[in-house]
Structure formats: C-alpha cells, structure tokens
Structure 1
Amino acid sequence: MSLPRPRGRGTPARRAMAVLAATAAVTTAAPAGVAGAHGSATDPPARNYGCFDRWGHRFQAPEMATEDPMCWQAWQADPNAMWNWNGLYREGVGGDHRAAIPDGQLCSAGRTQGGRYAAMDAVGEWKAVTKDNRFSVNVHDQAYHGADYYRVYLTRQGFDPTTQALGWDDLELVAEVGETPPANDTLIPVDAGDRTGRHIVYTIWQASHLDQSYYFCSDVVFTGR
C-alpha cells in the first residue's frame, strides 16, 4: 500500500525509513516506534502529520525553532508523536467522544497513548494551510480499516487558535459521512460557510475494524471565497 507523496519527496513511510537510516549514525537516541499502519488527515494536514511531513527528513535542524516553533516544541516534547503520525487514536470510546476527551485536550485525543501527543494541544501559531471555504478533508486510511463514520467540525468564527485552547463548545459539526468501505484515501466535502481567517478543522474518524476512534486537528486559514 502506498501513501500520499507530499511535495514530491516520496511517501511518508519511505521517508521515515530513509530518515531512520540516515540519522542512526548521528543521534544517540534513534527515533523509536515509527508509525504502524493506521491513518491520519493529510489534507489539510493533522498537526503531527504536518510536522512529520515538513521536518521528518531533518528533524534535528536548528532552524525549525524559528521557522516552525510549534512543531519544534512538539519534536522536543516527544518525537514519537511525529514518527507515529498515524497512531493518534483511542479505543473503547463507544461513540461518546465528548465524555472521553476533556476540553483543552481535543488535539491529543485526551492525552492518548500515555500522553505521547500532548504537545498537539499546545496553543500557538501552528503552521496553517490556506483553503477556500468549499474544500475537502482527505483522510488517509493506510491500513484499510474503513469507517463507521467520519465527522468534520470547524471552530466558530471568533475563536482564535493562536491564543485559546480548543474545547467542544468551540466547534460546529459541518460534515458527516456514514459507513465507508476501506479505501486508501477518503475525501469529505466541507462547506465552511462565511468563516474567514484562522480556524481548526477537527476530524473524527470512527474506524470499522474495532471500536477505534481517530482525532485530527488541522490548522487552516479560510479565504472567505
């Protein structure tokens, strides 16, 4: 199974293998736990996927601290959150996502996996991609889990992700897709209405193979068009 090829640098899985091979000789603690086969939102990119995509091939580059400070703090907190870019999920939620994940911890899925993804909750100026108000969320299902459903939420106009922690009341459900057969990539059409400026796209993917729920925070700037 092949993965998306962002900006022509090869698939994430292949780039992860290349990074590990190239850095083994220069780091005393080689990155552990490269992503197993699950999935993530790749467009707009989930926070940890975006950090992996931009910096996985040069994760020790000092310029990351000034060029991409939110990714820098995430790599410093736990590099495995990026190597395991497709493992941000919880099990046994039973569909009650709000009860399982506290406000302020939505981007880490309630500090899932022992807190591995906690840095995704950090408030600040995450790199954001520009989107017109009608766009699609692409969920890459690397393991062909399929879905019971996908739900896409957007932050309400006036919410500022650079200064405010994300809570459930900050979100509005804008798109939902029901049972979906396994497919490498699923496109979910979204209408952002009259939103403009910075927002968070929050995607929930309820996988079909188990009671396994995936949660993705993607940072965007809406053009208003």
Structure 2
Amino acid sequence: MSCHDHVLAPRWALRALAVLAAVVVGLVPWTDTASAHGSVIDPASRNYGCWLRWGSDFQNPAMQQQDPMCWQAWQDDTNAMWNWNGLYRENVGGNHRAFIPDGQLCSAGHTADGRYKSMDVPGRWKKTDVRRDFTVHLRDQALHGADYLQIYVTRQGFDPTTERLGWGDLELIKTTGRYAPTSDIRVDVSAPGRSGHHVVYTIWKASHADQVYYICSDVNFS
C-alpha cells in the first residue's frame, strides 16, 4: 500500500461520517437550547407532560388513541414539546391581560409565532390527581429566579374539555414574593370547593429580565 493510500482512507472515513451526521441531523427534531428556561413540572404543564410521556416515542401511532390531546399537539408543532421550557413572552410590563387574549392563555398569546397554539385546544388532556391542598413545583432550569408567581385555578363549572380558557374562568389563589435563583421552586396552594377536571394556570415572572411564563397544567381534584 502506498503513502497515498494511507492518506486516502481517512478522508473517505471523514466523508462517510459527515454524510451520517447530516442524516442524523435531518432525523432528529431541532431543539432550541437558547430557550431552555423552565416550566411547571408538577402538576405537569401540557407540553411538558407530552414531552415526558412521548418524547422518546413521539412517532408512535398509539398516541392518537391513548393520548389524543398530545397527539394533536405533536402533529401541530413538535417543537412545542421539545421546547417545553420556552413558553414565555417578553416585555409585558405586568399587563398580562392586555398581552394574553382570552382563548390563548395556554399559548401565551400565540407566542413564538404560534408554536404553542395547540396548548389552547380544549379536550381530554392528561391530568394530575391533586387534593384541595397541593404543591406547584416549578423547574427553573436557567436559574432565573422569580419576582413573583401568580397561581390561578379554574372556577367550578368550567369545562376544559369543551372551552378555551379565558381570564374570567380563573380564580387567583396565590401570589408569592421573590425567589432567589434556584433550580426548583415549590409553592403550597389551596383550592377548596372543586372537583373533577380543572386547569391550574401559573404566571412566572422571571427576575433576570421582563420575561413572563404562562403555564397551563391539567389536574383532577379527587
């Protein structure tokens, strides 16, 4: 074998690896690491729950029957789940109701060019069982901290399976103070007088910027 043959073999190997890498990139859904911020993981937000249950098996057709609301979300925009931690709006200035219209609360007013609009669709979303007294667990991946959290729960009589969420459907049950940067924030809340399927709506005002997260979690009051 000549010296030329020794040089040529590694070049072909590199070319083969480059082709393989291109194929892999084409098959793996794109995730925007810049949007790795955080969300409510318990009770699981709608898109976090879909990612948790199906992220490793999101092309499984069984999802359509077993988890139809997640199915419609994956079909609409897979990045809504891969970026479960990036559902926020910027430069709101505390005017939540002015920036987030009725019917678009779970998508933060169709933020990110409508990436999360499937979160607003009414239906039988998977629920977390809770009692009247429960804890909201926020995962703050980027250690933003919080100026405050506002936690709402839907009023008795609201039907998440048929109605889009509006501000008039919510009751504010907790407003917190500031939290220093930490990976996990837990808030104890109480929502008496409820039964069945409800939505917990969490507003998280991050401390590092005028950046606000609007998070829908489905629960079942047992």
TM-score (norm 2): 0.87
Task: Deviation per CA, 1:147-172: give whole Å up to 9, x if none.
Answer: 00001000000101001110000000
Displacement, 1:50? 0.3
Unmatched tracts of structure 2, length 5 or more:
1-21
Query: In the alignment, which residue of structure 1 is the partner of 2:19?
Result: none
CA distance in 1, matches of 2:25, 2:198: 36
CA distance in 2, matches of 1:112, 1:27: 26
Query: In the alignment, which residue of structure 2 is the partner of 1:171?
Result: 170
Displacement, 1:34? 4.4
Instruction: Please tell me the residue identity of whatever aligns with 1:112.
Output: T
Displacement, 1:129? 1.0
Task: Deviation per CA, 1:141-199: give whole Å up to 9, x if none.
Answer: 00000000001000000101001110000000001111110111111111011111110
CA distance in 2, matches of 1:210, 1:27: 32
Alignment pair present for 1:218 and 2:182: no
- Is the 2:106–2:214 contact (alpha carbons within 8 Å) kept by the matching residues of 1? yes
Displacement, 1:91? 0.1
Query: In the alignment, which residue of structure 2 is the partner of 1:83?
Result: 82
CA distance in 2, matches of 1:29, 1:54: 20
CA distance in 2, matches of 1:84, 1:130: 25
Instruction: Please tell me the residue identity of whatever aligns with 2:186.
Output: L
Report the aligned-residue RMSD. Answer: 1.4
CA distance in 2, matches of 1:140, 1:33: 18
Query: In the alignment, which residue of structure 2 is the partner of 1:31?
Result: 29
Change over 3 Å in CA distance of 1:76–1:179 after alignment to 2: same
CA distance in 2, matches of 1:95, 1:28: 40
Percent sequence identity is: 60
Q: How many residues align?
A: 200
CA distance in 1, matches of 2:74, 2:24: 17
Report which of the two has the higher share of helix: 2
1:1-225 to 2 correspondence within 5 Å?
29-35=27-33, 36-223=35-222
- Is the 2:135–2:186 contact (alpha carbons within 8 Å) kept by the matching residues of 1? yes
Query: In the alignment, which residue of structure 2 is the partner of 1:13?
Result: none
Unmatched tracts of structure 1, length 5 or more:
1-23
The structure number with the bigger radius of gyration is 2
TM-score (norm 1): 0.86
CA distance in 1, matches of 2:25, 2:78: 13
